[in-house]
């Protein structure tokens, strides 16, 4: 069965002419709706959330979006075409997509459990292969290293986790499955090494290594900068003016903030140690960015009070 094209614009419900801000807004709306922590049907929501994340991973990145738009449904005839002619028949444990990665001499690696679809793996997955030694030098040659992306949630980066990853060489019928440890505090682009699981060596040479490159899953509430997290804190207009307390959720539970009188939208409140873990055992910070939650529908009394306030200000 051929790899199926995915319409990421349809997934996010936006037009192909949508701006980056419109794409981001559409993602956040859908991500809040289908986030597994809040959805009633968690299994269905988890799969939908992965689809939404994958679409935003591409359309939210101008370079990936350009490539996607350039080849479109004809992607198999462009730069993203599969290189080994492998088949997707059969399943892989652990869920996620399976990508073809050239391991040298026309050998592809097919992956499962990475969190990405077959289409994404084929078009955007990292591909490295071939023997380390160049040309036709005699003697043992080390196999090439293979690199694949693995989608990791912010919660996994905060708590740490384990994942089942499966892969198979296209010249073998045997599927290998490994339990991979996701350490606390992993960062975007960090790599997890599986020694000796890359391309086969030649003339008795050692096999290369398999590297799983971390891609942090986009979250509807949090944005990641290093070990720090950022999220919006929406409060009513009167609380910005008069001050008060506001509750905010963090990865380690709920917390409270004091809003000083006269606080302006965009003000940042720092919650020390509420970010992601660091390698030295400490934690980054969480920054709550103040936004104003304005009423959409006013009662007659509320409208009268706003009108009185406007007269006072004038």
- In this prediction, residues 116-138 reach a mean pLDDT of 63
pTM: 0.71
d(CA 234, CA 260): 14
Q: What pLDDT, on a 0 to 100 scale, did the predictor assign at position 154?
A: 93
Region 223-313: CATH code:
2.60.260.20
What's the mean pLDDT when you consider all of the chain? 82
Q: Partners of 175 in the beta sheet?
A: none
In the predicted structure, residue 7 carries a pLDDT above the cut 90: yes
pLDDT of residue 101: 43
Which is higher by pLDDT, 56 or 133?
A: 56
Rg (alpha carbons) of the chain, rounded to whole number: 24
Q: Is 185 left (phi over 0), alpha (psi -120 to 50) or beta?
A: left
Question: Which of the 8 DSSP states describes residue 77?
Answer: G
User: Is pLDDT at 79 greater than 60 in this prediction?
Assistant: no
Look at residue 89 and tell me whether its pLDDT is greater than 50: no
Distance CA 58, CA 120 (A): 9
Distance in angstroms (rounded) separating the CA atoms of residues 202 and 215? 32
Q: Among 54-58, 63-67, 200-204, 228-232, which is the least confidently predicted range?
A: 200-204
Select the more confidently predicted residue: 166 or 108. 166
- Predicted local distance difference test score (pLDDT) of residue 76: 52
The domain locations on the chain are 8-216, 223-313
Please identify which residue in the block is written with the tokens 């390698």.
279
pLDDT at residue number 170:
66
Task: Give the pLDDT score at 278.
Answer: 93
Is the separation of the CB atoms in 246 and 237 below 8 Å?
no
Angle of the 20-34 helix axis to the 42-59 helix axis, nearest 10: 170
Burial 32-61 (b: 16+ CB within 10 A, else e): eebbbeebeeeeebeebbbbbbbbbbbbbe
Identical topology for domains 8-216 and 223-313: yes
End-to-end CA distance of the chain: 69
Q: Is residue 14's pLDDT more than 50?
A: yes
User: pLDDT value at position 62?
Assistant: 93
With a pLDDT cut of 70, the percent of the chain lying above it is: 81
Calculate mean pLDDT across residues 115-140: 65
195 pLDDT higher than 60: yes
CATH architecture of 8-216: Sandwich (2.60)
Assess whether pLDDT exceeds 80 at residue 112. no
Backbone angles phi, psi at 257, to 5 degrees: -125, 145
The whole-number pLDDT of residue 108 equals 61
């Amino acid at each position: 069965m051929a790899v199926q094209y995915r319409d990421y614009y349809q997934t996010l419900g936006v037009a192909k002419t949508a701006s980056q801000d419109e794409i981001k807004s559409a993602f956040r709306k859908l991500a809040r709706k289908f986030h597994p922590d809040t959805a009633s049907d968690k299994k269905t929501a988890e799969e939908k959330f992965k689809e939404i994340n994958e679409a935003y991973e591409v359309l939210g990145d101008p370079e990936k979006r350009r490539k996607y738009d350039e080849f479109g449904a004809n992607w198999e005839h462009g730069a993203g075409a599969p290189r080994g002619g492998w088949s997707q028949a059969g399943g892989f444990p652990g869920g996620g997509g399976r990508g073809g990665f050239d391991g040298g001499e026309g050998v592809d690696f097919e992956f499962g459990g990475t969190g990405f679809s077959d289409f994404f793996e084929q078009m955007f997955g990292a591909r490295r292969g071939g023997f380390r030694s160049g040309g036709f030098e005699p003697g043992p040659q080390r196999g090439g290293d293979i690199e694949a992306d693995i989608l990791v949630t912010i919660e996994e980066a905060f708590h740490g986790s384990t994942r089942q990853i499966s892969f198979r060489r296209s010249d073998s019928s045997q599927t290998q499955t490994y339990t991979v440890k996701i350490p606390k505090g992993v960062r975007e682009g960090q790599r997890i090494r599986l020694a000796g699981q890359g391309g086969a060596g030649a003339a008795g040479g050692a096999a290369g290594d398999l590297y799983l490159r971390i891609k942090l899953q986009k979250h509807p509430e949090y944005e990641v900068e290093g070990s720090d997290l950022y999220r919006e804190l929406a409060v009513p207009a009167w609380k910005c003016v008069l001050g008060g307390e506001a509750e905010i959720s963090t990865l380690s539970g709920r917390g409270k903030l004091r809003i000083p009188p006269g606080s302006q939208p965009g003000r940042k409140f720092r919650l020390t140690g509420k970010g992601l873990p660091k390698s030295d055992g400490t934690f980054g910070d969480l920054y709550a960015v103040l936004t104003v939650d304005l009423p959409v529908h006013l009662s007659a009394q509320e409208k009268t009070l706003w009108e009185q306030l406007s007269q006072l200000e004038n």
